[in-house]
Structure 1
Amino acid sequence: MWGRFAWPVTLETGDIVLRPIRHRDKREWMQVRHRNIEWLAPWEASNPAPGGYLPSYHEMVRALNSQVRTASALPFLITMRSQASSRPAIVGQLTVSGIVWGSALTATLGYWVDREHAGRGVAPTAVALVTDYCFWELGLHRMEINIRPENSASLRVVEKLGFRDEGVRKDYLHIAGSWADHRSFALTADEVPGGLLNRWQDAQPRM
């Protein structure tokens, strides 16, 4: 299965383009994050170690690239085309991490989206696009997403896409300064034989 892993990879559908995060994206990434501080703060991963040090942008990118080299992660930026610019603008981030090969063929997916674009189908489309890539190109069998029970916006994403609720994981991740429970959602390739993106797009109302 390792032979099917490739990077860099760009995925797109309609106006949404998923591409690798890069060191030179720092300025635009920081601008998006800054205007979303209050929106994202309750769901931010934190460091339980004394001092609570968090990596800088460049340290984050280096760490993600290191995971790519071991075929254990796919770090994407979510970008969108618009008439205002010839270059798709950053509207979020999506990372497939913890890829396990062998008999498991599983991974975990996490994401965030600019508040201005929340509720417009950006996150579900990005999640569906990447999940299909992992299932049909990488040969993975299972995708998992873990969400705080209070994060209603993120919960709507997995509900729209039909991910199964597999229950609560107590104190699963350190979030915003304390250990936090998460609800675990999952989907297997067998459950979406026609592709998750197709199922999601087919469910949208026709104009």
Structure 2
Amino acid sequence: MIDGGGGLAAELPGDVTIRVLRSSDAERLGAAYRRNRQHLAPWEPLRSAEFFTTAGQHANIGEKLGSLAAGTGLPWILLAGDRAVGAMALTGMVRGPFLSANLGYWVDQEFSGQGIASAAVGHVIEASRTRLGLHRIQAATLKHNAASRRVLERTGFREIGLAPEYLQIAGSWQDHVLFQRILH
């Protein structure tokens, strides 16, 4: 099991903090998703109306905290004061000889372009190396998501290939560019 406690929180640029997600974050995360619904729509799977509610976020957070308890994932929230302004997550964490996880993230439209995503990804990289003992993180981004590609490149990820029809995003199977970051 992964310890969601100390060493996993940090201060980021723009008075933003990153910390492990809590069940009490449902209302603020639901508000953030509602605020950013149009901004995130081209980059995410289609979402039910329920997803954007506090109840929907209680369920979403419950799943994420279940993966935390199982040691297969680690979800973070980005906060500006008490307001959620983004999220990061390691998913599909594998131990043994692989020691790898997948990284996903988003940042509130109002906070985009301020270096917050890069700083948060940098924090996740460091925590993955020092606290989780991972060897590798993989991330995938849509071919046309230039901002996300810049974040990954800025934080030391290297492109490793193209995955045709990799994920169903915005209602269709879309090609993704795969990146990895070796931590040791």
Structure 2 unmatched runs, 5+: none
The answer to whether residue 154 in structure 2 is matched with residue 157 in structure 1 is no
Distance of aligned partners of 1:106 and 1:53 in 2 relative to their CA distance in 1, 3 Å threshold:
farther
- Which digits, 9 at most, give the CA deviation of each residue in 1:9-54, with x for residues without a partner? 541035332122233322222222222121100011248xxxx897
The answer to whether residue 112 in structure 2 is matched with residue 108 in structure 1 is no
Segment of structure 1 superposing worse, 31-40 or 100-109: 31-40
**Structure 2 partner of 1:12:** 10
Q: Distance in 1 between matches of 2:27 and 2:175?
A: 33
User: Aligned AA for 1:16?
Assistant: V
Matches within 5 A, 1:12-91: 12-14=10-12, 15-46=15-46, 56-80=56-80, 87-91=81-85
**Structure 2 partner of 1:134:** 128
Q: Distance in 1 between matches of 2:58 and 2:131?
A: 29
**Structure 2 partner of 1:166:** 160
- Whether the 8 Å contact between 1:46 and 1:54 is mirrored in structure 2 is no
Out of 140, 143, 146, which is 1:146 matched to? 140
Distance of aligned partners of 1:53 and 1:25 in 2 relative to their CA distance in 1, 3 Å threshold:
closer
User: Given the two structures, how large is their TM-score scaled by the length of structure 2?
Assistant: 0.88
User: Given the two structures, how large is their TM-score scaled by the length of structure 1?
Assistant: 0.78
**Larger CA Rg, structure 1 vs 2:** 1
The answer to whether residue 115 in structure 2 is matched with residue 117 in structure 1 is no
User: Aligned AA for 1:6?
Assistant: D
Q: Distance in 2 between matches of 1:167 and 1:160?
A: 18
Q: Distance in 1 between matches of 2:83 and 2:147?
A: 22
Q: Distance in 2 between matches of 1:88 and 1:58?
A: 17
User: Aligned AA for 1:76?
Assistant: W
Q: Distance in 2 between matches of 1:68 and 1:137?
A: 14
Q: Distance in 2 between matches of 1:185 and 1:122?
A: 19
CA RMSD of aligned residues (A): 2.0
Segment of structure 1 superposing worse, 26-35 or 95-104: 26-35
**Structure 2 partner of 1:84:** none
Q: Distance in 2 between matches of 1:53 and 1:70?
A: 28
Q: Distance in 1 between matches of 2:93 and 2:50?
A: 23
Q: Distance in 1 between matches of 2:144 and 2:50?
A: 23
Q: Distance in 1 between matches of 2:95 and 2:132?
A: 10
Q: Distance in 2 between matches of 1:173 and 1:54?
A: 21
- Whether the 8 Å contact between 1:16 and 1:126 is mirrored in structure 2 is no
Structure 1 unmatched runs, 5+: 81-86, 191-207
